[in-house]
Amino acid sequence: MGCGGTETHSPAGAGEEVSEVQARALYIRKCSLCHGDDGKLMASKSPDLSLSTLALDKRIALITYGKGTMPGQKGLLNSAEIRAVARYIERFRE
Ligand code: HEC
């Protein structure tokens, strides 16, 4: 099974990549409980992610360490997974 010998896609600085499908699965499993499939559920007093303007690095920190009643994912997800989920939720923005 080859990739057709075309140029390999490598993301800047990351040795490992998490696909969008995996990122979505992680989001559904870890985040949709409070934030909903579209980021707008707002359960457990969580903010509407479609209105969030938090920068990527801030989101990564927040997802890693948690905040208030939001649980941190440190030790549960690796850094590539956390980054992928942090990117994934940008799609909720309008
Ligand atoms: C137990 C409920 C819960 C779960 C599960 C949860 N969150 Fe949250 N989330 C919250 C709450 C509550 C806040 C507000 C924290 C605060 O500011 O005190 C928040 C805040 C955020 C914010 C900041 C939004 C902003 O602009 O202020 C982001 C981004 C976010 N969550 C993403 C995620 C992601 C990604 C996951 C999955 C890895 C996740 N959350 C899982 C409850 C949750």
Q: What is the sign of the dihedral through the CA atoms of 13, 61, 84 and 92?
A: negative
CATH of domain 20-92: 1.10.760.10
Specify whether the CB–CB gap between 49 and 27 falls below 8 A. no
62 lines ligand 1 (CB under 6 A): yes
Give 42-90 pLDDT, tens digit per residue. 999 999 999 999 999 999 999 999 999 999 999 999 999 999 999 999 9
Domain boundaries, the chain: 20-92
Cα 50 to ligand 1 centroid, rounded to whole Å = 12
- Which atom of ligand 1 is least distant from the CA of 52? 26
8 lines ligand 1 (CB under 6 A): no
Position 13, amino acid: G
How does residue 3 score in pLDDT terms, banded at 50, 70 and 90?
Answer: low
Q: What is the DSSP letter of 91?
A: G
How does residue 1 score in pLDDT terms, banded at 50, 70 and 90?
Answer: low
Q: Report how far residue 77's alpha carbon sits from residue 94's, in angstroms, rounded to the nearest whole number.
A: 27
Cα 76 to ligand 1 centroid, rounded to whole Å = 16
- Which atom of ligand 1 is least distant from the CA of 31? 37
Give 30-50 pLDDT, tens digit per residue. 999 999 999 999 999 999 999
Residue 6's Cβ-count burial label (10 Å; 0-12, 13-18, 19+) is exposed
- Which atom of ligand 1 is least distant from the CA of 30? 37
User: Which residue minimizes the CA distance to atom 2 of ligand 1?
Assistant: 34
Residue 76 in tokens: 């549960």
Question: Cα-Cα-Cα-Cα dihedral of 57, 60, 64, 69, to 10°?
Answer: 100
